[in-house]
Amino acid sequence: MLNDETSGASTRRAFAKYGGAVALGGLLAGCTGGESDSPADDAEDSGPSDDGSGGSSGEPDETGDGSYTASISPTGEVTFESPPETVFTRLTHHAGMAFALGKGEGVTALHAPDYYDGLWNQFVERLPGVSLDWSGLYSSWQPDKEKLYELDSDVHLADPAWITRQDAWSRDDIDEIGERVSPWFGNSLSDRHQEPTGEWADGYQYYGLWEQFEIVADAFRERERYEALATVREDLLATIDERLPPESERPTAIMVAAADIEQIYAYTLSNPGFLTSHTRPLGPRDAFEGSVDSGTVVDFETILEADPDVILYLGGFEPGTDMAGRRAAFEEDPVGSEVTAVKNDRVHPQGARYQGPILNLFQLEMTAKQLYPEEFGAWPRYEEGPYPAIPDDEQLFDRERVADVINGDP
């Protein structure tokens, strides 16, 4: 139980207060379900061109006493007396934003920390001088209120409109943590433009991945880091736009995930939301032609009927995933072996859809090569280990530049 001192009046962290627009009241505790990126229960993403319908908060507003405000849907305006250093997250697009802003070691919680620590470090390996350790952190998929008091994070970079979908969380719980520990400042329903419930439904805004990253950077007083990374992304997108073949010449593709090859989940590649931020800009043709909803379980027969030119395999970079075994499962099946992507050895690994800005850069490069090797350079056949060492003249973005920004030299 919480002791009287822990649950008493406002905490010492008065540095962060909700402004009048926040209305953290009126949340319905609900259970409408959510998705994560681990292979058995993945989700979706939107992005470049990030087309979320919300706008950036721009530079944070100074209040005259050294504090400043930043605003995000659904929490509204929040006042900070100093930039956050320790960061509670639930989903890895938020943990990835903290990492990009040089706060990766300040993350106090995230969903499936050991899984994502292993996955993220496959990419971090290619950023010289950058390190990341999320192993052993509190796993926050179903966060416990008392644990949030114990973690005592400077900010809860998570969406209260999603947290309160769980039966264990009410409006009063959200308000209590926001007032006595630190504010909520995150948006997750933009992942696939999910419908908010209760009072959150009034005026809820959707953001693209990089739109939200800009807002979060302002809350952390890291505008310079954001702008440097945004320039890298803009250059990468310009390169993609210049070389992208006409739609009629693009391959058909599907994205799948499976912790067990007996249960394969299929995900769409171009629907709104930040979960497709690394596939939508590349414009592959949907092999399912809209007949399969994202998150649907499919079998080899369904995949053969769609007959994709390319299969993108989510979680393929996670150290515990046997990509060779995944390919063999298709190749040894009498139906799966007939799929064009399998015949042509175009079953490729993916990382995660709740990716954050740094992983988004890698995945844009990776997916461009997997879909269009003639335009962007061949993708190496991957089975295990870190992200392949792409030759310098075939890289689509500058690793050194990204590493410098993360390490504080924007």
Q: How far apart are CA 401 and CA 234, in angstroms?
A: 14
Average pLDDT over residues 90-112: 97
Residue 84 has pLDDT above 90, yes or no: yes
Identify the weakest region by mean pLDDT among 73-77, 169-173, 312-316, 361-365.
169-173
Residue 10 has pLDDT above 60, yes or no: no
Quote the mean pLDDT of the chain. 86
Are the C-beta atoms of 20 and 328 separated by less than 8 Å? no
Please tell me the predicted confidence (pLDDT) of residue 32: 27
- pLDDT greater at residue 97 or residue 197: 97
- Is the peptide bond preceding residue 49 cis, with omega within 30 degrees of 0? yes
Which of 314, 295, 267, 277 minimizes the C-alpha distance to 39? Answer: 314
Are the C-beta atoms of 216 and 101 separated by less than 8 Å? yes
Please tell me the predicted confidence (pLDDT) of residue 63: 60
Q: How many residues are given for the chain?
A: 410
In order of 121, 291, 302, 304, 316, the CA distances from 297 in angstroms are 29, 13, 10, 14, 18
Beta bridge partners of residue 266, listed in sequence order: 256, 296
Q: How confident is the model at residue 261 (pLDDT cuts 50, 70, 90)?
A: confident
Are the C-beta atoms of 277 and 208 separated by less than 8 Å? yes
The topology under which CATH files domain 16-230 is: Rossmann fold (3.40.50)
pLDDT tens for 28-62 read 122 223 444 443 333 333 333 344 434 444 566 66
Please tell me the predicted confidence (pLDDT) of residue 59: 60
Average pLDDT over residues 95-112: 98
Residue 120 has pLDDT above 60, yes or no: yes
**Strands 347-349, 310-313: pairing kind:** parallel
Please tell me the predicted confidence (pLDDT) of residue 400: 98
Q: Who contacts 155 (Cβ-Cβ below 8 Å, separation ≥6)? A: 16, 84, 86, 87, 88, 182, 183, 185, 219
Residue 212 has pLDDT above 90, yes or no: yes
Residue 377 has pLDDT above 80, yes or no: yes
- pLDDT greater at residue 170 or residue 386: 386
- As a whole-number percent, the residues of the chain with pLDDT over 70 amount to 84
In this structure, which amino acid lies at residue 148?
Answer: L
3-class secondary-structure state, position 410: coil
- pLDDT greater at residue 58 or residue 258: 258
Please tell me the predicted confidence (pLDDT) of residue 60: 63
The topology under which CATH files domain 245-406 is: Rossmann fold (3.40.50)
Which of 280, 219, 269, 234 minimizes the C-alpha distance to 97? Answer: 219
Tokens linked to 297:
């379980």
Average pLDDT over residues 276-301: 95
Please tell me the predicted confidence (pLDDT) of residue 52: 40
Q: How far apart are CA 259 and CA 243, in angstroms?
A: 35
Beta bridge partners of residue 276, listed in sequence order: 46
Please tell me the predicted confidence (pLDDT) of residue 171: 85
Average pLDDT over residues 255-262: 85
Residue 115 has pLDDT above 60, yes or no: yes
Are the C-beta atoms of 348 and 331 separated by less than 8 Å? no
Please tell me the predicted confidence (pLDDT) of residue 2: 35
Residue 402 has pLDDT above 60, yes or no: yes
pLDDT tens for 183-197 read 999 999 999 999 998
10 Å Cβ neighbour count for 125? 15
Task: Put the strands of the sheet holding 68-72 in their side by side order.
Answer: 16-18, 76-80, 68-72, 61-62
Residues of each domain in the chain carrying CATH 3.40.50.1980: 16-230, 245-406
Q: How confident is the model at residue 7 (pLDDT cuts 50, 70, 90)?
A: very low
Please tell me the predicted confidence (pLDDT) of residue 410: 81
Burial of 354 (0-12, 13-18, 19+ CB in 10 A): buried
Q: How far apart are CA 67 and CA 229, in angstroms?
A: 26
